[in-house]
Amino acid sequence: MSGGKTHALRVLHGKLDACRACPNVVGPVVHGPAVLSRVMLVGQAPGPREGTFGRPFAWTAGRTMFGWFQEALSVDEATFRERVYIAAVARCFPGKASGGGDRRPDRSEIERCETWLEHEAALLEPELVVPVGTLAIERVLGTKDPLVDVVGTLKRATWHGRQVDVIALPHPSGASPWHRIEPGKRLLKKALAQLARHPAMQKALGT
């Protein structure tokens, strides 16, 4: 059964790699490996470097995030990537915004990429979803609550037709000080402790 799902996920990745639906983004498509996991981490979109490395969270924000996991979950980056399925709201680099910084994917780009998340969720049947950053949190929870109301609080949501636990994390970008100052610093620590205790994460990591 697991072999069939792995094959189906790889076939889906092949279709995803061939996607050229959004004219204003910068390819290539970026996604993680075909990991069968009941834990899905959902980011916002690749940055300008991820396409070169061929994996999500491959640059500075990723180093910060995996540093969080190393400290709180006692898991290194390579092991985390092998045990947790990493996806994103958008799979191509959206390009730069006119005022500087990375452009936020627009509504049509988000909706086109949502189809891929729907297929992935149907295959993986996640028990725990970890949205990283405001956009991902909004898409998973379906609300636009302030970070202080969602980070550090275990949520229950219906996501792509499935009831899932949601543990939200702030974006690890160096451009945002939220996770480095209070109350963000304290709430991040609380959220990471929740991840470490969650049965789905413990099972995924073998802890």
pLDDT at 101: 84
Q: What is the pLDDT of residues 34-62, one digit of tens each?
A: 999 999 999 999 999 999 999 999 999 99
Instruction: Identify whether 28 is preceded by a cis peptide bond (ω within 30 of 0).
Output: yes
Tokens read off for 16: 């995803």
Angle at 103 between CA 102 and CA 106, to 5 degrees: 155
Rounded to an integer, what distance in angstroms lies between the CA atom of residue 207 and that of residue 193?
14
Compute the radius of gyration of the chain from its Cα atoms: 16
Q: What is the pLDDT of residue 175?
A: 83
Q: Are 39 and 200 in contact (CB under 8 A)?
A: yes
The tens digit of pLDDT for each residue in 156-183 reads 999 999 999 999 999 998 888 999 999 9
Contact 49, 93 (CB under 8 A): no
In this prediction, residue 108 has a pLDDT band, given cuts at 50, 70 and 90, of very high
CA atoms within 13 A on the CB side of 148: 5
- Check: CB of residue 152 under 8 Å from CB of residue 193: no
Residue that has been written with the tokens 């995803």 in this structure:
16
State the pLDDT at residue 152.
98
Nearest to 160 by CA among 134, 140, 138, 136: 140
Q: Give kind and range of the element (H or E) at residue 42.
A: strand 39-43
Q: Is 143 exposed, middle or buried (0-12, 13-18, 19+ CB in 10 A)?
A: exposed
Question: Residue 99: its pLDDT value, please?
Answer: 81
Q: Which CATH superfamily is domain 2-205 in?
A: Uracil-DNA glycosylase-like domain (3.40.470.10)
**What does the domain layout of the chain look like in residue ranges?**
2-205
pTM of the model: 0.96
Q: How confident is the model at residue 198 (pLDDT cuts 50, 70, 90)?
A: very high
Amino acid residing at 205: L
Residue 105 has pLDDT above 60, yes or no: yes
User: HEC states along 81-142?
Assistant: HHHCEEEECCCCECCECCCCCECCCCHHHHHHHHHHHHHHHHHHCCCEEEEECHHHHHHHHC
For the cut 70, the answer to whether the pLDDT of residue 1 exceeds it is no
Asked whether 188 and 179 are in contact (CB, 8 A), the reply is yes
Q: What is the pLDDT of residue 44?
A: 96
* Banded pLDDT at 2 (limits 50, 70, 90): confident
160: DSSP letter:
T
